[in-house]
Structure 1
Amino acid sequence: MTKLTFFTFIVLATSISFIFLETPPKSFYHTLFISDSFSDNSSIANHLYTLTKRPHVAGSQANADAAAYVLSIFTSCNIPSHLTSYDVALTYPVSRSLTLKSSEKTIKFGLFQEIYDGDPYAEVANEVLPTFHAYARSGTATGPVVYANYGRVEDYATLREMGVNVSNTVVLARYGKIYRGDIVHNAHAVGAIGVLIFTDKKDYGGEKWFPDDKWMPPSGVQVGSVYDGIGDPTTPGWPSTGECERLSDEEVDEGGNVPLIPSLPISWADGDAIIRTIGGKVANVDWQGGKDSPIYRVGPGPAIANLSYEGQQVISTIQNVIAVIEGEEEPDRYASLTFNFS
């Protein structure tokens, strides 16, 4: 058993409520962390359920409630803890749309996630925000679709070798391998005007899906940020508090960490429908989909996609839960463990 030789400084942005640390035998924290009331499967499951039973997007009251819950768990265990609030720039969706026009028909995508029989979260489905990418660029992109596999730099090199020009196209890429923000950045770097990122059944699907299994259902959408920086884009390197100095929109753009073309996350079902309209050369074997998928081709087109997204940036208050566990030796040293649950 090793000794905790310094302060462990734990910062949680409305975060998880359990930490696993090795501490001296017979210490209070050692006893706490191995106790059934704190870290057995049932207590962990209860904490997870409490924190996920309703949506709690950053800046919302539900998010503040999640922070308060984490704080209450820490303080009930006699861990010195407190809340610290920050006023940060966050984005929320105002409107979004996606249509695909071919010589045969026009598809207007609903962009919604279905409620399935047995869904334990059905009663709070109306609290879920429309699917979007945080910090996505507002705008409209209209052009033929190019399939770019995972949207990596090497994937665009493969497209060049195949003679595919990505300029002025809408890229369709699948989640996986790299961060979604890099998918958008890479597409912009090769001249694309918009990006659709879908959850491919090959990577996230199965014969059964939620709520009967762990896999993403056909209409399920992976959401998240496409910001490539750390913290608040308007306050890089300093705390977002009160009337602090903030970068202008132009300065944020010049920083190179926010996307410069619009993007939308879409489901496997919607991605599959788009894949079926793409012509051109057949994609490589490792670019293909899973069982029962159509043949994946790279395009461009011939169908034309029209992607539109409008977001709103606001300054909202978020809470960090900060807990300090003092080590037995060298208590003036700190180790920082951070977790996010927003």
Structure 2
Amino acid sequence: MDQARSTISKIFNGEPRSYTRFNLTQNMEGDNSQVEMKLSSDMDEEVGGNGVGEHLNHTAPNGPYVARRPGRTPKNICFMAATTLLIFIIGYLIGYLVHGKKPFPSPCPTSQTDIGDNEIIHETGAAPLMDWDDVKALLANKLAPSNFEAAFSEFASNDHKAGSFGDEALANKVMRRFKEYGMLSWNDEHFVKIQEGPPAPGFNQVSFKGKEERPSGFLSYSATGKQTGAVLYAYYGQTSDFRLLKNKNLNMTGRVILVRAGKISFAEKVANAASMNAAAVLIYPDPDDYPIGLDTELYGHVHLGSGDPYTPGFPSFNHTQFPPLQSSGLPEILAQTITGRTAENILSQLGGEPVPSEWGGVSKLGDENDVITVEVNNIMTQKNINNVFGVIKGYVDPDRYVVIGAQRDAWGPGFAKSTVGTSILVELARCISEMVKEDGFKPRRSIVFASWSGGEYGNIGATEWLEGYLSSLHMKAFSYINLDGVVAGQNGFKASASPMMYSLIESTLKEVKVPNYPAVTLYEQNAKASWETNVMEPMQVDNPAYPFLTFAGVPSASFRLSSTSDYLYYGTMLDTRKNLDSITSSQTPQMTVAAAQFAGHMALRLVHDHLLRLNVQKYENIIRAKVLDINRKVKTVQRMRPDSLPQALTVQWLITASGSYNRASRNLKTEIENSDLEDIEMCRIINDRIMRVEKSLLSPYVSPTSKPFRHILIGSGSHTLTGLLEHLEDLRVSNPTADANLFREQFALATWTIQGCANALAGDIWALDNEV
């Protein structure tokens, strides 16, 4: 054997090697190329010292010359190769006889995963992809009604208003659970201003024709003081309702507007009344809409915004030293809720004109003699609220994460509003943690579980977190899933979401079974002729997912298992387990399992697949439809009011920007079809381009302090495409507030926002479409 070693040494070390290998940098297709080069004098003779050979040879031009050793003939080379092969065979046989059939130890036991009797996967840095059906089965096996019964008992509370001892106790329970599951957990503390009802012996008061009422319900962030004015009934207080009253030439200045609860948020009702110069607003639950008792009190808020209204656009940390500010969404008029019984007394005594026939139910609108006095004595307090977080880290892109969140506080018991969502949040954290620790599931990206406080006052906890860490969340958080109010019935399903998440919602509906009917999916139960028409709803300003989508540009979704009628107990002291059971036929735990499966499937799909399940092409039709509406409206205004909008104004620029987005989204689809999804870096680049879309639809030309909902398609304000259409309508009817020059500025900025979104989606600077 010594002689064999000597011979091998002479062959491989005794003279220079004739071949060498080296790696080039990545070529244009993204592969690492292996180039094999011949450095013998034969190659030197072929290239004759020209540039090609000098370039390939990594020897300096003035470097030492290495002479070819004599005897390197083809015959000698073949002899040496045969000798080497013979020696190798002899050595192998000797080794086999010495060691017998003793198995060789694995050189890297920690880098291999057995998946069968004979097959072994060698990990290369990417998480091994568990089959999606196995992932779904693991989650389903860990979710059970009995688990949720225990969670309901743990997280139910009759007193957990934001910043209270009950709220803090629940926060500690959630934190303790996250730590038990081995999750990295932390809390985020904010000092916020909250307006509460007057403490005893104080009260709010409504006086009408000698009868006084002191409601215990209230509307946070109302103006305070005392106002007297004539009552005017305005149905639901929608813009269309006030337009109808205006067309009747009714004077609304200084009036006390009486409206039903429902259709739109309390804040929108008050803002609409304020735009008509009303003095106050009274909101009541009409028995036709809310058959829950004539004496039921309503609670809510009237901030037309999100977060702490006294720190608009920035976080309410205790150490911040910003000048005194307040949100533009705070009302300057009084707002108060009253019971159905109080409203009946007022409506029965109104005079004036008859109500429009389409409103029904009420006979008279009210006249100048129907005088009422409203007194609001709410008090402002500062509260310390805590958001609680836990994270399951991903194995490939841990710095990219989906956020699952649930409101923890409530006006009263808040069972459907907060207890169910908090229970699902904690149970999903347990299940997925176990899947990672015990079952071999390795998510590619991270999952952040968030328990918010201050939800009842306008999603304060969630919004303050967004404001505090917006720069950190940029290009990190790729989706938000809301768990508030997800169980509100048993026979239907409704959802609100970013259009980018529609495809994910559709596929999830086809996977989750209807409780108690394992052969039927939620899709089969609810799709009917068109699943989008039957399931999807526009996302409203008071939706907890709204600030994530329209302020932070994070694709977001809310959903609920529903019934034929809405759950009526939100914002009351009647939101209890008993009343929810009456809606679900005592199947609340089973419904909660289905809701948890739906949220879990969406989150797991987002962290399981190579590419994010977010459909950028969904925005193509939405943008195109808005552009066509604007084009038609511009032509109408130019024809009817040529003095208000110059003929030179063209919509071609906007049409071209829409086309740029369409081309960018389709080009991305083609690139995905032609890409190697096992290439980690390639997937990351594509996912980053997908994540830019929602954020790029936030107008960069408006301030978040004055217009926080900056999304030009789903947000609110004059910067949105809907705002442009409303401005065109004002120009058409010669509304004094219309301004042609302002419209042209808003039009140009909205156009460039769409073009900027197309550029962000296109990716590299050399791939941009610069036709605009």
Q: TM-score, normalised by structure 2?
A: 0.34
Matched, 1:184 2:270: yes
Evaluate the alpha carbon distance shift between residue 50 and residue 168 of structure 1 in structure 2; reply closer, same or farther with a 3 A threshold: farther
Secondary structure in 1 aligned to 2:385?
A: strand
Greater percentage in strand:
1
Amino acid at match of 1:320: N
CA distance in 2 between counterparts of 1:278 and 1:309 reads 23
Specify the alignment match of 1:326 in structure 2: 393
Aligned AA (2:206): T
Structure 1 pair 171–80 and aligned structure 2 pair: CA distance change class (3 A): same
**Contact 2:208–2:346 at 8 Å: present in 1 too?**
no
For the residue of structure 2 that corresponds to 1:245, the secondary structure is coil
Which has the larger helix fraction? 2
Q: Which AA in structure 1 matches 2:217?
A: T
**Counterpart amino acid of residue 282 in structure 1:** P
* Partner of residue 10, structure 1: none
CA distance, structure 2, for counterparts of residue 244 and residue 149 of structure 1: 43
Structure of higher CA gyration radius: 2
Q: Give the Cα–Cα distance (whole angstroms) in 1 for the partners of residues 406 and 363 of structure 2.
A: 38
How far, CA to CA, are the matches of 2:404 and 2:323 in structure 1? Answer: 28
1:171 pairs with 2:171: no
Residue 329 of structure 1 and its aligned partner are, at CA, apart by 3.9
Task: Report the alpha carbon displacement of residue 281 of structure 1 after superposing the two structures with TM.
Answer: 1.8
Match of 1:210 in 2: none
Matched with 2:207 is 100
Q: 1:259 corresponds to which residue?
A: 331
**Could you say which residue in structure 2 is the equivalent of 1:85?**
189
Deviations 1:218-256 (A, max 9, x none): 2112211111122112222222112312442xx31xx42
Corresponding position of 1:228: 304
What number of residue pairs does the alignment pair up?
277
Residues 134 and 224, structure 1, Cα contact 8 Å, conserved in 2? yes
Q: Work out the CA distance in 2 between the residues paired with 1:328 and 1:176.
A: 45
Which secondary structure state, in structure 2, belongs to the residue aligned with residue 264 of structure 1?
A: strand
Aligned partners of 2:350, 2:323: CA distance in 1, in Å?
Answer: 41
Q: Counterparts of 1:48 and 1:287 in 2: how far apart (Å)? A: 41
Q: Where does 1:57-206 land on structure 2 (aligned, <5 Å)?
A: 57-94=161-198, 95-102=202-209, 106-111=210-215, 130-205=216-291
Query: Is the contact made by 1:234 and 1:246 (CA closer than 8 Å) also made in structure 2?
Result: no
Which amino acid counterpart does residue 406 of structure 2 have in structure 1?
F
Distance 1:57 1:86 in 2: 15
State whether residues 157 and 166 of structure 2, in contact with CA within 8 Å, keep that contact through their aligned partners in structure 1: no
CA contact (8 A) 2:256 2:280 kept: yes
CA distance in 1, matches of 2:131, 2:382: 40
Task: State the shift of 1:99 in Å.
Answer: 3.3
- RMSD of aligned alpha carbons: 2.5
Q: Distance between the aligned counterparts of 1:189 and 1:91, measured in 2?
A: 23
1:34/1:157 CA distance change after superposition, 3 Å: same
> Does 2:406 correspond to 1:339?
yes
Q: By how many angstroms is 1:340 displaced?
A: 2.0
Shift of 1:150: 0.8
In 2: Cα distance, 1:179 partner to 1:298 partner: 22
Q: 1:197 to 1:315 in 2, by over 3 A?
A: same
- Counterpart-to-counterpart distance in 1, 2:164 and 2:405: 21
Q: Aligned pair 1:41/2:117, yes or no?
A: no
Q: Which runs of 4+ in 1 moved over 6 A?
A: none
| Contiguous gaps of at least 5 residues in structure 1 | 1-21, 112-129, 206-215, 290-294
Aligned counterpart in structure 2 of residue 278 of structure 1, from 332, 350, 369: 350
> Bigger relative contact order, structure 1 or 2, given CA contacts below 8 A and separation 6+?
1
Encode CA deviations 1:41-97: one digit per residue, 9 max, x unaligned: 344355445544312211211111122222233333333322221111111122443
> Residues of 1 paired with 2:351 and 2:402: CA distance?
53
8 Å contact kept, 2:259–2:282: yes
% identical aligned pairs:
25
Structure 1 residue 173 displacement after superposition: 0.8
Tell me by how many angstroms 1:157 deviates.
0.7
Q: Which moved more, 1:68-77 or 1:175-184?
A: 68-77
For residues 109-167 of structure 1, the C-alpha deviation after alignment (integer angstroms, 9 at most, x for no partner) is 131xxxxxxxxxxxxxxxxxx42111111111111111111111111111112232111
- Residues of 1 paired with 2:256 and 2:140: CA distance? 52
Q: Please say which of residues 303-312 and 325-334 is displaced more in the overlay.
A: 325-334
Q: Secondary structure at the match of 1:204?
A: coil
On the 8 A contact 2:204/2:378 being kept in 1, the answer is no
* Alpha-carbon distance in structure 2 between the residues aligned to 1:167 and 1:174: 20
Local SS of the residue matching 2:319: coil
Report the Cα distance in structure 2 between the residues aligned to 1:140 and 1:30, rounded to whole angstroms.
Answer: 60
Please tell me whether residue 287 in structure 1 is matched to residue 334 in structure 2. Answer: no
Correspondence 1:311 to 2:378: yes
Partners of 1:278 and 1:301 within 8 A in 2:
no
Deviation at 1:23, TM superposition (A): 9.9
What CA distance in whole angstroms lies between the structure 2 residues aligned with 1:338 and 1:244?
26
Give structure 2 stretches of 5+ with no counterpart: 1-129, 410-772
Alpha-carbon distance change, 338 to 237 in structure 1, aligned in 2, over 3 angstroms: farther
Match of 1:245 among 321, 325, 330: 321
Measured in 1, the distance between the counterparts of 2:278 and 2:390 equals 45
SS at match of 1:183: helix
- Preserved CA contact (<8 Å) 1:174 1:197: yes
Task: Give how far 1:267 is off.
Answer: 1.6
Superposed CA offset, 1:160-201 (max 9, x none):
122321111111111111111111111111011011111111
TM superposition score normalised by structure 1: 0.73
Contact 1:235 1:245 in 2 (8 A): no
